[in-house]
Amino acid sequence: APSRTGFSAVEAGGNHSLAIKTPSLAYPPVLSSTNGGLINLDFRFPSIQSGAPYLVLGSITGTSTGFSYGNFHIALDYDRLTAMTLRRLYRPQMLSFNGTIDPNGDAFALLAIMPGEGQGFVGKTFYWTAVSYDILLGSPISISNTISFDLFQ
């Protein structure tokens, strides 16, 4: 089953939950470093955010402490991957890690891992959250739930 944690995005201002048709998810939820493959990161936002820009943030150290981003608490432990994705210093394997939320409220990203790549991360869980933001103010509008996938040999 795909990795699913939480079922809502949080709206700025009132900091209240908005209903979302289905949770965000990562699929497949596991990937072989030896064989490589694609991980689809499917983030769900309320459809009223259609057209809003988004960016994907990541962490390999977990979700226990998180960090503040604007008026929000992001459920990712801040590490090198988080710093890289906040600065939008994406690797070629990170496709559509920033873009525009589609008319249905969906934001899609893709992680392409070549066979043999990522051997140093075998046994790790990668955590991801998407943030929609106001392009004029640069401030977050809402955040997705945190999703994850595991890398194995």
DSSP code, position 81: H
Which conformational region is residue 74 in: left (phi greater than 0), alpha (psi within -120 to 50 degrees), or beta?
A: beta
- The answer to whether the beta carbons of residues 149 and 126 sit under 8 Å apart is yes
Residue range 11-62, pLDDT digits in tens? 444 433 444 346 788 999 999 999 999 999 999 999 999 999 999 999 999 9
Residue range 80-109, pLDDT digits in tens? 999 999 999 999 999 999 999 999 999 999
Q: Average pLDDT of 116-136? A: 93
Cα separation, 99 vs 67, whole angstroms: 23
Whole-prediction pTM: 0.83
φ and ψ at residue 74, rounded to 5 degrees = -90, 125
